[in-house]
Structure 1
Amino acid sequence: MDAHTELGQDRAHSARMYDYYLGGKTNYRADREAAAGVLRVYPGALVAARENRGFMHRATRYAAEELGIRQFFDIGTGIPTEPNLYQVAHRFQPDARVVYTDNDPIVLAYDRALLTAGPPAAIAYIDADVREPETILERAAETLDFDEPVALSLVALLHFIPRGDDPHRLVARLTERLATGSLLVLSHATTDFDLPDSTHTVAAAARAYEEKGLMLGRVTREEMGAFFEGLELAAPGLVPTSEWRPDLDLAEGLQRLPGMISPDEVGVWAGVGRKP
């Protein structure tokens, strides 16, 4: 088996498609072809990806700057783009520790390079699957102190986890281990914002993913809320990614006017919950 096949470059991968939506360079022909198929039926995928990334930046800033959290646990890291989570965290908490987790070999290769860019004692990478919560928690404990608050990020990850693997149970197991004051940062694709008379919908995007052997699960608002059971939702609650604390945006000079981005362009619920 050649390296091209071994690394999966001959077939589309959701993380590399996401990198393409964000304007990155770590994607291959199969990824670009699959992404083009999605964009034909859901042009909002470009906006959705960028708004999702912005939500991650703002939630990380909220955790570090407003709550003083100094530990970050990012599961489903994906291809690193700048500013990366650790860069945002270190901007407000220079001694913050960050653990990245993913199970894609190309992501692993790029994250190994990323580790050399930051303080080695402050950044760690776990090659594991979110469906193995016990393994992830055990290995993360080598870097993070779970007796202190941790910001756990599951951003645009769970819609790639089959319902048969019970994503709600996985999230409950992970948050159970967190200390009081910890955060759950989570976003998930939804068809709740699809316009009834439009052919450009998240539902259509999901079918395009399925044609490439990938999945894009969707949740209702009620199902999204269930991920935060036992947690206290931070204001403004469950909202489209573009509407979660835009005042915290890191982009210099950005002005977000009401209605500038409509929920159907985003197609993703977002929320941040604090463990009481």
Structure 2
Amino acid sequence: MSERSDPPGETPPVAHVAHNARVWNYWLGGKDYYDVDQQVGDHITSMFPIIREVARADRTFLGHSVRFLAGEAGIRQYLDIGTGLPTVENTHQVAQAVAPTSRIVYVDNDPTVLAHARALLAGTPEGETDYIDADAHQPQAILDAATDTLDLAEPVAVILLGILNFIDNTDEAEGIVKTLMAAMSSGSYLVLTHPTLELGGAGNVEAMRFWNENATPPITARTGAEIARFFQGLEVLEPGIVSCAQWRPGYVAADEKAVAQFGAVARKP
């Protein structure tokens, strides 16, 4: 692990298999990864060279969407599922910079993320942050735990960035979204990104196969039409379901290059 930054007194388990949270951290220029994560990350990059651009675009999309939600939309509560390792512009940092009273609940089930959770809890004195060790396959358990911090009678932004692609069955993934959004009040939002073989991502087929043979959890790409199913009953904001690098004109340059990762924000009526 390069320049390990684990919390004092906490020793993470030795990693023999690359894990998405750590490889993503490596692609984003972080330092919380093991040699196996770097090796797999480098091999994926050799097969699909724009993967680092995808990772950066996904992170930028998070900042753009949360700034919009905290500002123009007036959202003060966030449920960020599949948090990943802390890097720059985490959800609580972006939201609380706009609205210091914002409350954020992070959810992940990776031991390395748990070891770094204290960095995710360093929010503003006026707001509140919490971390739940839970699996996205169990949305009701997530909702039950989140109510310790969030008031579901008030609007909440549910953030699912690059997480549903680890739910292999599309019907199950759709059910997870439905369970989460059914518990949210009117005026809540769904924020989602998902890898695809569209948008120039056809070259990712072999890279995804390599990932599924050498890392965890296994990943599934989906089409724009499949991803649209996650937004049933919601009002998708302009510009719709697009490359996450091209979401929200005015936040990004009009000529920003598309990446093979869909992104969208939708409001619950």
TM-score calculated relative to the size of structure 1: 0.89
Q: Where does residue 202 of structure 1 map in the other structure?
A: 204
Q: 1:120 to 1:36 in 2, by over 3 A?
A: farther
* 3-state SS of paired residue (1:211): helix
| Contact kept in structure 1, 2:244 and 2:263, CA below 8 Å | yes
Unaligned runs of 5+ in 2: 1-9
1:79-228 matched pairs, under 5 angstroms: 79-116=85-122, 118-119=124-125, 122-163=128-169, 166-194=172-200, 201-214=203-216, 215-228=218-231
The CA deviation at 1:187 is 0.5
Is the aligned partner of 1:270 residue 2:263? yes
| Contact kept in structure 2, 1:61 and 1:248, CA below 8 Å | no
Q: Post-superposition, which runs of at least 4 consecutive aligned residues in structure 1 deviate over 4 A? A: none
Unaligned runs of 5+ in 1: 250-255
| Contact kept in structure 1, 2:96 and 2:124, CA below 8 Å | no
The CA deviation at 1:247 is 2.4
Q: 1:106 to 1:120 in 2, by over 3 A?
A: farther
CA–CA distance in 2 between the matches of 1:80 and 1:113? 7
* 3-state SS of paired residue (1:247): coil
Q: 1:244 to 1:257 in 2, by over 3 A?
A: closer
| Contact kept in structure 2, 1:146 and 1:178, CA below 8 Å | yes
Q: 1:267 to 1:164 in 2, by over 3 A?
A: closer
* 3-state SS of paired residue (2:18): coil
Which range moved further: 100-109 or 209-218? 209-218
Q: Where does residue 252 of structure 1 map in the other structure?
A: none
The CA deviation at 1:117 is 5.3
| Contact kept in structure 1, 2:96 and 2:127, CA below 8 Å | no
CA–CA distance in 1 between the matches of 2:33 and 2:54? 18
| Contact kept in structure 1, 2:96 and 2:123, CA below 8 Å | no
Q: Where does residue 253 of structure 1 map in the other structure?
A: none
Measured against aligned partners, the alpha-carbon deviations of 1:79-137 in whole angstroms (never above 9, x if no partner) come to 01111110100111110000000001110111124324544960000000011111100
| Contact kept in structure 2, 1:192 and 1:267, CA below 8 Å | yes
CA–CA distance in 1 between the matches of 2:111 and 2:201? 37
| Contact kept in structure 1, 2:100 and 2:127, CA below 8 Å | no
| Contact kept in structure 1, 2:100 and 2:124, CA below 8 Å | no
1:224-235 matched pairs, under 5 angstroms: 224-235=227-238
* 3-state SS of paired residue (1:248): coil
CA RMSD of aligned residues (A): 1.9
Greater length-normalized contact order (CA 8 Å, ≥ 6 residues apart): 1
1:1-12 matched pairs, under 5 angstroms: 7=13, 9-12=15-18
Aligned pair count reads 259
| Contact kept in structure 1, 2:81 and 2:136, CA below 8 Å | yes
* 3-state SS of paired residue (2:132): strand
Is the aligned partner of 1:55 residue 2:61? yes
The CA deviation at 1:203 is 1.4
CA–CA distance in 1 between the matches of 2:149 and 2:15? 31
The CA deviation at 1:8 is 5.2
Measured against aligned partners, the alpha-carbon deviations of 1:20-39 in whole angstroms (never above 9, x if no partner) come to 11000001101001101110
| Contact kept in structure 2, 1:189 and 1:216, CA below 8 Å | no
| Contact kept in structure 2, 1:62 and 1:248, CA below 8 Å | no
The CA deviation at 1:194 is 3.1
Q: Where does residue 6 of structure 2 map in the other structure?
A: none
Letter of the 2:183 partner, please give it. R
Is the aligned partner of 1:244 residue 2:247? yes
Letter of the 1:27 partner, please give it. Y
